[in-house]
Amino acid sequence: MKKIKIVKTKAETSYIKGRSIPKGCKYCLKGSKVVLFLNGICQKPDHCSWYCPISEERRGKDLTFADEIEINTKEEILYEIDLINAQGMSITGGEPLSELNLEKTIDYIRYIKTKKGNKFHIHLYTNGMNFNENIAKRLSLAGLDEIRFHPGKKDWANIKKALKQQMQVGAEVPVIPGDENIKYLEKFIRYLDNIGADFINLNEFEFCFSNSNSLKQRGFYLKENSMAAVVDSKEIAINLIQKLSSEVSLKMHFCPIRAKDYYQLKNRYIRRAKSIKLPYEVVTEEGLILYTQIEGEEKELDKFYEFLLSDLKIHEKILSYDKKNIKMPFYISIEEHFISTLKNFNLKGYVIEMTPFRQIKYKQVTEKTPIKVFKKEYGFNGN
């Protein structure tokens, strides 16, 4: 029997060597996929509503988001796609295929495929409750590339209805600890393999604010040194892959919370930051934007701005002055001569780190550090 090897990616996901991972996952981990949150409306099925991680701000609300940005038109999601130079889009909710959302979902798929072309990859998440052959055909004709089911037991058979269409078919479910849950999941994986599904994504079970009470009541605990992972979920997932890998032929991919909350987000932030950064800004390895901000009285700021232009010969293209503060590259501000001069003008300087957004509603200053403190903390020697 051929020995099965489990491969661990840079993003800390795991899969069976030789089977790779779903195409949609590849783009997600690269940060090159826009997440279209259609809205928070769904049928609230018993099998998953008790641990739904959707925030209270979105759950049950008819609000649409492209990544973090609330949108109202199809053109706005196209703007987000272009902004991060996306290679694909995922559609989630809520339930994209509910009676309320179906037409909207198909309209989005058709529109984006028309604008971005057939190579632009679109995948969709569904609980499969009202899935049928007609919906499968309409999704395929609209251009859907990949569908991911998260069904209750009574809806397993609905997955078969997608297999005849021109799209990849699989499942994406959380790994919930407990003997009964593990047996159920193992049976589901075997079922998927028997019907000829392409993959299953096993997600680390998520502990978050919106589901914390429900999980605690059922005896689930937060993993030590983690902000969201449930105890034993990861270990169970890896054991399942190892146990079943030689018995099934479908792709099996484990995705930890860190992959979604760190790697995917970081890579998407990097793409966004590179698109929106101004001449005086630098993009960090975390996808955040870095620059220096000089603050003080307007009269002193006026003098200092002229000093930067005339004495230090700093090009005005890498400076920004609005009479409230001066923004400039951080790497200039950490020079010792600059720091001492700044003090002579009775001004204060800070290195600002912020999320890559321009809209006041979404941008967030994550760090505001005095220049000297920043220089010391990060080991810059000023040379």
For the stretch 343-372, pLDDT in tens is 999 999 999 999 999 999 999 999 999 999
Confirm if 352 and 365 have CB atoms less than 8 A apart: yes
The DSSP code for 335 is S
204 to 200, 322, 377, 383: CA distances (angstroms):
13, 47, 34, 46
Alpha-carbon distance of 6 to 298, in angstroms, equals 61
pLDDT of the residue at 381: 56
pLDDT of the residue at 81: 98
Contacts of 133 (CB under 8 A, 6+ apart): 161, 164
Over residues 100-114, mean pLDDT: 97
pLDDT of the residue at 2: 61
Confirm if 174 and 203 have CB atoms less than 8 A apart: yes
pLDDT of the residue at 356: 98
Fold observed for domain 6-272? TIM Barrel (3.20.20)
pLDDT of the residue at 345: 94
Alpha-carbon distance of 308 to 292, in angstroms, equals 14
Who wins on pLDDT, 136 or 377?
136
Ordered alpha helix ranges (H), 196-313: 212-217, 233-244, 257-258, 265-276, 298-310
pLDDT of the residue at 312: 93
Asked if the model's pLDDT at residue 173 lies above 80, the reply is yes
Please give the biggest Cα pair distance in the chain.
79
Alpha-carbon distance of 22 to 175, in angstroms, equals 18
Q: What is the pLDDT of residues 225-234, one digit of tens each?
A: 898 999 999 9
**For the chain, domain boundaries:** 6-272, 277-377
Tokens of 35: 């997440």
pLDDT of the residue at 383: 44
